[in-house]
Structure 1
């Protein structure tokens, strides 16, 4: 937890995770910061029992993107997490357009999705259900007059 304040709702319940490199409001799901640069070294145990370094290595003289320092999954040159977020944005946007919700609702739903993804709450669930749940939470927090069946 941090003593900073959410720009969206004013809450001081902010979760900062150096391993993920982000700061998220746990009340409204607003992502305050992402891609934080930390000087800590974090390790994670894989299911096979091996240790893996979390994060990316950035050299002092680096001018471009970071080089991989650990196991990341790439498809056609894109990182798996980026593809997951891109697909989630498409699904959430499609659902919000059907419900005639504005861009603010799409962004808030994406923030809820990012929070769920970071806490590994999306694993083993159908993506359509994850997208619908994030839109539903947004409708409830925003107080929109939507009836979701």
Structure 2
């Protein structure tokens, strides 16, 4: 049986490494393997930004990939946590009754939803800010070059 609470926490805590996908769909899930790749690409952007500064164009393109991946996993945690027990059990526990305990929502699920909403929104806004700052900074520099 696949627990809704565990899947919600896995999506929030280990979602960028595909933990929730591997738990629900198995090791052959291609999206589960794509998530760690996106996380590594975004992590490389963060490392470039730390070493080369915020003026590096590649880092301001790659860094938001990590943030958007994490925010998407937080959204997945919210969707998992808010599913009705009947829907959850029909999709992930089809051999069980519609009101099986694995699909029930408890306080642990509610806390995972709340934390995913708070942290995911903050990370999403930071990712948008970093990408827009880099874009507009390069536009200003290009405008200065043209005006010379």
Return the structure number with greater relative CO, CA threshold 8 A, min gap 6: 2
Bigger proportion of residues as strand: 1
TM-score for both structures, normalised by structure 1: 0.28
TM-score, normalised via structure 2 length:
0.29
